[in-house]
């Protein structure tokens, strides 16, 4: 279960209004919730409906059973939204992974490709080729390389490939139809950066034994709570970003205090970047708007980026992501548990630097570091809020995904931009293709 705490924004506002938000500023936007909600619905974006997929759940689970035990390795071929979602799910939920071992080929670096090709046994490897358009150059190049390896090894490609792509069009769809390659659909009205809860993320989750029905139940409940039933938390995050952007805080830091959720901040980086970074608004006026995401990890980045957050330009909004209960509790040994320090280092060795650990766990240390960071940033008038889940599991991960997607959808409407296009990305693809064709001449 996810909860949000905006109190520090109010406290900062009391001390210096230009760096925080007042409760009145929030309230003034509440009456516009329904208006922005209807605008989102008018965009006909399918991500809101992904919590309800009984047919996909059945198809994915059935396929997973047919290949269970057949493969020692799974290689995901993809980039951007077709890869960041799966990696986030795997990093968050797969611990001490047994077979099959998953390799995420998220780049076209030839050294990385060669390393993965060297690690796997082609006879025992399944390749998931993931691209919404079915035309992504990087992913098609990866596919052609491994297809060639399979054919040279005299292996039937349809037994080693699965395509996750558009239901009707694109190169991969044509190949799948012609060669009877298993295929799962990405809905036409779900963009790549919103696709984590389609087969893009669900198939690999099922193949490694995760409960995809719980992922979707968390997303479904989040949609009901934060969109249908007018719980304003996701909307308030968008309002916070919108107002703080007007106050010069155009950088959003997502800082999970869990190594398992580190990639969540990277996934959110794409979601926020591609959704808000736009040259034109909906009236075709040049606005060059957008919020810059900055991923961070607690407590690691307390010893790198925090100095900048604390004393650098006051242009950042820090969103902490907390985990209340970890699956493991580890006690920090006391001085006498680890060695007889009083004998080896003298009687004064029990200094404050070690006394703080008495009867404490790493869990308590992590919590103390988090609370200290929040307090220090608030003292320095650096706007921050906290999102909290009780534990990391499939249900809560699905809820976080949907919560953040809904908040970005609201933010796009507040900014009056097309949240779902990405002309800047498409332009670079066009020029890359032109460069390749020119090289042939």
Token pair in block for residue 395: 């249900």
CB 212 within 8 A of CB 198: no
CB 235 within 8 A of CB 222: no
**Mapping DSSP to helix (H, G, I), strand (E, B) and coil, where does residue 126 land?**
strand
Same domain as 51, residue 37: no
Does position 348 have pLDDT exceeding 70, yes or no? no
Token pair in block for residue 231: 């719980």
Same domain as 257, residue 357: yes
Question: Does residue 367 form part of some domain?
Answer: yes
Same domain as 407, residue 322: yes
Share of the chain above pLDDT 70, in %: 95
Token pair in block for residue 275: 């959704």
Could you give the residue numbers annotated as active site? 274, 303, 429
Question: Does residue 437 form part of some domain?
Answer: no
Mean pLDDT score, 20-46: 95
pLDDT band with cut points at 50, 70 and 90 for residue 425: confident
CATH classification of the domain holding 243:
3.40.50.10490
Average pLDDT, the chain: 93
Same domain as 7, residue 76: no
Same domain as 322, residue 287: yes
Query: Tens digits of per-residue pLDDT, 355-381?
Result: 888 888 999 999 999 999 999 999 999
The pTM of the full predicted model, rounded to 2 decimals, is: 0.94
Q: Which of 417, 413, 384 is nearest to 19 (CA)?
A: 384
Predicted confidence at residue 277, as pLDDT, reads 97
Predicted confidence at residue 89, as pLDDT, reads 98
**For the purposes of burial, counting CB atoms within 10 Å of the CB of 53, is it exposed (0-12), middle (13-18) or buried (19 or more)?**
buried
Predicted confidence at residue 341, as pLDDT, reads 47
CB 252 within 8 A of CB 294: yes
Same domain as 227, residue 79: no
Same domain as 154, residue 57: yes
Same domain as 17, residue 113: no
Helix residue ranges, H only, 160-290: 171-179, 199-207, 212-223, 233-246, 262-276
Same domain as 203, residue 66: yes
Q: How far apart are CA 213 and CA 344, in angstroms?
A: 57
Does position 285 have pLDDT exceeding 90, yes or no? yes
- Within 10 angstroms of residue 421's Cβ, the number of other Cβ atoms is 14
Q: Report the DSSP pairing between strands 73-77 and 125-130.
A: parallel
Question: Does residue 430 form part of some domain?
Answer: no
Strand extents, DSSP E, 260-358: 278-280, 286-289, 292-295, 316-323
**For 90, left (φ over 0), alpha (ψ -120 to 50), or beta?**
alpha
Predicted confidence at residue 342, as pLDDT, reads 47
Same domain as 224, residue 145: no
Same domain as 223, residue 198: no
Query: Tens digits of per-residue pLDDT, 290-328?
Result: 999 999 999 999 999 999 999 999 999 999 999 999 999
Looking at 182, 210, 238, which one is the last position of a domain? 210
Token pair in block for residue 128: 């998931």
Q: How far apart are CA 180 and CA 178, in angstroms?
A: 6
Across 22-26, 176-180, 375-379, 437-441, least confident range: 437-441
Q: At what angle do helices 81-93 and 199-207 cross, to 10 degrees?
A: 40
Does position 344 have pLDDT exceeding 60, yes or no? no
The residue among 231 and 404 whose pLDDT is bigger is 404
Question: Does residue 429 form part of some domain?
Answer: no
Q: How far apart are CA 265 and CA 295, in angstroms?
A: 5
Question: Does residue 436 form part of some domain?
Answer: no
Looking at 210, 241, 274, which one is the last position of a domain? 210
Q: How far apart are CA 14 and CA 68, in angstroms?
A: 58
CB 193 within 8 A of CB 180: no
Query: Residue 318's beta-bridge partner residues?
Result: 253, 384
Predicted confidence at residue 431, as pLDDT, reads 80
Q: How many domains does the chain have?
A: 2
**Given the structure tokens 């090894």, which residue do they identify?**
153
Query: Tens digits of per-residue pLDDT, 229-274?
Result: 878 999 999 999 999 999 999 999 999 999 999 999 999 999 999 9
Same domain as 316, residue 189: no
Q: What is the DSSP string of 413-431?
A: HHHTS-TT--HHHHHHHHH
What residues make up the domain containing 161? 47-210
Mean pLDDT score, 28-44: 96
Predicted confidence at residue 281, as pLDDT, reads 97
Mean pLDDT score, 140-167: 97
Q: Which of 91, 88, 71, 72 is nearest to 80 (CA)?
A: 88
Query: Tens digits of per-residue pLDDT, 85-109?
Result: 999 999 999 987 677 999 999 999 9
- Residue 329 has φ and ψ, to the nearest 5°, of -120, 125
Mean pLDDT score, 415-433: 86
pLDDT band with cut points at 50, 70 and 90 for residue 410: very high
């Amino acid at each position: 279960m996810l909860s949000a705490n905006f109190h520090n924004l109010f406290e900062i506002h009391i001390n210096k209004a230009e760096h925080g938000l007042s409760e009145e500023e929030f309230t003034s936007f509440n009456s516009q919730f329904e208006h922005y909600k209807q605008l989102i619905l008018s965009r006909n974006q399918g991500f809101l409906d992904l919590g309800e997929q009984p047919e996909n759940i059945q198809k994915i689970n059935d396929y997973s059973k047919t290949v269970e035990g057949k493969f020692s390795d799974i290689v995901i071929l993809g980039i951007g939204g077709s890869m960041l979602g799966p990696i986030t799910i795997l990093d968050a939920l797969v611990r001490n992974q047994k077979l099959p071992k998953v390799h995420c080929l998220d780049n076209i670096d030839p050294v990385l490709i060669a390393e993965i090709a060297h690690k796997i046994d082609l006879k025992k490897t399944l390749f998931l080729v993931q691209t919404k358009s079915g035309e992504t150059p990087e992913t098609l190049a990866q596919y052609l390389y491994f297809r060639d390896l399979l054919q040279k090894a005299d292996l039937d490609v349809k037994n080693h490939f699965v395509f996750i792509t558009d239901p009707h069009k694109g190169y991969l769809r044509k190949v799948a139809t012609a060669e009877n390659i298993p295929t799962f659909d990405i809905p036409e009205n779900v963009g790549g950066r919103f696709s984590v809860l389609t087969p893009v993320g669900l198939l690999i989750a099922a193949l490694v034994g995760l409960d995809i029905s719980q992922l979707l139940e968390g997303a479904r409940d989040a949609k009901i709570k934060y969109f249908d039933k007018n719980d304003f938390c996701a909307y308030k995050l968008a309002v916070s970003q919108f107002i703080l952007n007007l106050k010069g805080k155009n950088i959003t830091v997502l800082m999970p205090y869990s190594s398992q959720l580190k990639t969540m901040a990277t996934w959110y980086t794409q979601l926020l970047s591609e959704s808000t970074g736009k040259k034109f608004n909906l009236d075709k006026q040049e606005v060059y708007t957008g919020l810059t995401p900055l991923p961070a990890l607690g407590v690691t980045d307390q010893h790198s980026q925090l100095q900048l957050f604390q004393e650098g330009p006051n242009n950042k909004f820090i969103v902490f992501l907390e985990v209340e209960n970890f699956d493991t509790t580890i006690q920090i040994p006391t001085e006498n548990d680890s060695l007889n320090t009083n004998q080896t280092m003298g009687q004064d060795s029990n200094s404050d630097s070690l006394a703080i650990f008495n009867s404490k766990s790493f869990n308590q240390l992590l919590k103390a570091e988090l609370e200290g960071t929040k307090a220090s940033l608030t003292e320095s008038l650096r706007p921050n809020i906290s999102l909290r889940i009780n534990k990391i599991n499939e249900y809560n991960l699905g809820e976080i995904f949907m919560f953040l997607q809904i908040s970005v959808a609201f933010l796009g409407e507040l900014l009056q931009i097309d949240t779902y296009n990405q002309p800047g990305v498409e332009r670079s693809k066009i020029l890359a293709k032109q460069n390749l064709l020119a090289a042939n001449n």
